[in-house]
Structure 1
Amino acid sequence: MVSAPATAAGALAGGALAVAAWHIGPAATWLPGLRTAYFPGLDGRGSPGRVALTFDDGPDPLSTPHFLRALEALSVRATFFVLGSRLERAPELGRRMAAAGHEVAVHGWEHDRPWLPRPGRDAAELARAAATVQRITGQRPLWYRPPYGILTGGRWAAARRTGLRPVLWSAWGRDWTASATPDNVVAEAASRLGPGGTLLLHDSDAYAAPGAWRVTLAALPRLVAYCRGLGLEVGRLADHGHPGGGVPYGFPGPAG
């Protein structure tokens, strides 16, 4: 006969495993092959005549203005996934983005990794970031891309509660690394980018190798030219014609 303490311990262990699975399971969508095969919206797949150009980690007073000027020269509008804490410190950059026709989306409040389940904090911080974007830019944000592309159960639930659509990327330039050069950023992006794709770049080196943004800036005109050479229009996610990612595996939000 199983004792009551043993039964209780087993129930607690089972509950802990269930919470861990709910928290960690959706993070498997970070894997490009899984996203491409099963979650094309989350992979950033849209209209085949377009490419969505996106930037993470700003706004950054040292680097973001250079990207805004470059995009204006290229006649391209993009989607900037901003951190609420950084936008609050540089609101004029958020207003400049919106005034130039760029889309301002949510990258979170801080650039942190979700090691432990924290659904209440996830919900509060994401709502705070979205409200900050709307207050500063006058735009209601549509999209959410978490730091490092790690979507946990709590972050999925927080996005759903805040009315944001999760989206990651189809291709990136690995432009945050110390070894990045304009040539290998273009080559890396071109190796996976095609019709209907979403490209991830960074307009700040706050969470990257020092000076990495200069490499991205140098690669940007070549990347736009590459896409246009394929007959693809480069623009914002809002014009890309896809609904964003849904909750994978039927994961519900947290109880309550």
Structure 2
Amino acid sequence: MGDRSRAGRAAYAVVPVVVALAHIGPAATWLPGLRRRWFPGLAGQGRPDHVALTFDDGPDPASTPHFLDALDGLGVRATFFLLGERVVRHPALAREVALRGHELAVHGWTHERPWRPSPGRDARELRRAVHAVGEAAGRNRPHWYRPPYGILTSGRWAAARRAGLRPVLWTAWGEDWRRDATPDSVRATVAADLRGGGTILLHDTDHASAPDSWRAALGALPHLVAHCHATGLAVGPLSEHAVAGTDGPEKRG
């Protein structure tokens, strides 16, 4: 009986470890090299003559309008990954993003790290976010999902699938959330990894970043767009990017 009891306790102790690994294992796709090599669609790799421009964490009335004006001046449209709770707080601004011709996508309900498995909560919160973003987008139901911090857990994968969303991360980012970010540092960091077919991640708010860090991204934006155009690359939203594994967002009524 003693051996059986010890074996039972050992097996019981292993269960939480297995559950935790199953939960967080997919988050390995956060690693850029792994993602680009083995999961090009998840990385946002698209048509080679195009670059997808994306922004996370908004909407934010203190900063998002500056990005909308800058993008208007540049004649460029982008994809904005919005947080559901921010959309509910600033619905008119979320609608304005869509009315300016930009694509709305889902960034979750709040900007949290998902260390503990909670598939039920993941599903509920993503449904709420899809509804909020969909209301702001009008007839164009959101198609894309990028989890906060780019951390995809098994629960988030399953929730996105049930919600009819396609997860997409990025191939190049600006590290524009840092306290020491500048327009030059953002531009150089993006350029180091940017190739035709890539997806750029920037932030139109400091909601989950260092205070006022959004100004570095805003200052870098004209230079990034000019660099792409000078190298023959069009810049636009994910809906025009033909992400690997799809011809684009599904048509929805």
Distance 1:17 1:208 in 2: 32
Native 8 Å contact 2:46 2:198 kept in 1: yes
Q: Is the 8 A contact 1:53 1:198 kept in 2?
A: yes
Report if aligned partners of 1:167, 1:244 keep a CA contact under 8 Å in 2.
no
Q: Distance in 1 between matches of 2:2 and 2:188?
A: 61
Equivalent residues in 2 for 1:38-53, closer than 5 Å = 38-53=38-53
> Residue by residue, what CA displacement relative to the aligned partner does 1:28-85 show, whole Å, maximum 9, x if unpaired?
1110010011000111100000000000010000000010111111111100000000
Q: Hey, what does 2:198 align to over in structure 1?
A: 197
Distance (whole Å) between structure 2 residues aligned to residue 72 and residue 40 of structure 1: 30
Task: Tell me the residue number matched to 2:251.
Answer: none
Structure 2 Cα separation of the partners of residues 13 and 143 of structure 1: 38
Cα contact 2:40–2:244 (8 A) shared by 1? no
Q: Is the 8 A contact 1:42 1:244 kept in 2?
A: no
Which letter maps to 1:174? E
Matched with 1:251 is: none
Corresponding position of 1:88: 88
Contact 1:56–1:82, Cα closer than 8 Å, also in 2: yes
- Equivalent residue, structure 1, for 2:71: 71
| In 2, Cα distance between equivalents of 1:18 and 1:238 | 38
* Residue of structure 2 equivalent to 1:183: 184
1:149-188 residue pairs with structure 2 within 5 A? 149-188=150-189
Q: State the AA in 2 paired with 1:152.
A: T
Residues 189, 199 of structure 1: 8 Å contact kept? yes
SS of the residue aligned with 1:41?
Answer: helix
How far did residue 2 of structure 1 move? 6.0
Task: Write the deviation string for residues 149-170 of structure 1: whole angstroms up to 9, x where unpaired.
Answer: 1111111111111111111100
Kept after mapping to 1: 8 A contact 2:45/2:244 = no
Give identity over the alignment, percent.
Answer: 61
Deviations 1:64-123 (A, max 9, x none): 001011111111110000000001010111111111110110111000011111111001
State whether residues 27 and 152 of structure 1, in contact with CA within 8 Å, keep that contact through their aligned partners in structure 2.
Answer: yes
Q: CA deviation at 1:19?
A: 1.0
- TM-score where L is the length of structure 2: 0.93
Whether the aligned pair in 1 keeps the contact of 2:24 and 2:115 (CA below 8 Å) is no
Worse-matched range after superposition: 80-89 or 134-143: 134-143
Q: Which runs of 5+ in 1 are unaligned?
A: 246-256
**Structure 2 counterpart of 1:121, which letter?**
R
Q: Provide the TM-score with structure 1 as the length reference.
A: 0.92
Report the alpha carbon displacement of residue 243 of structure 1 after superposing the two structures with TM.
5.0
SS in 1 for 2:200: strand
Matched letter for residue 157 of structure 1: A
The aligned counterpart of 1:60 is: 60
Give the distance between the partners of 1:8 and 1:167, measured in 2 at CA.
42
CA distance in 2 between counterparts of 1:13 and 1:128 reads 35
Quote the Cα distance in structure 2 between the aligned partners of 1:5 and 1:119: 31
Distance in 2 (alpha carbons) for counterparts of 1:244 and 1:206: 32
Structure 2: which 5+ runs fail to align?
247-253
Whole-angstrom distance in 2 between the partners of 1:194 and 1:160:
29
Single out whichever of 94-103 and 121-130 deviates more from structure 2: 94-103
* Residue identity opposite 1:56 in structure 2: D
Structure 1 position 24, deviation (Å) = 1.2
Q: Which amino acid aligns with 1:85?
A: E
After TM superposition, the structure 1 stretch with the greater mean CA deviation from structure 2, 209-218 or 194-203, is 209-218
Distance, in Å, in 1 between the alignment partners of 2:156 and 2:11 is 26
After superposition, the CA RMSD in angstroms is: 1.4
Q: Distance in 2 between matches of 1:186 and 1:207?
A: 20
Aligned to 1:230: 231
Q: Deviations over 1:124-182 (max 9, x none)?
A: 00111001111222131111111111111111111111111111100001111111111
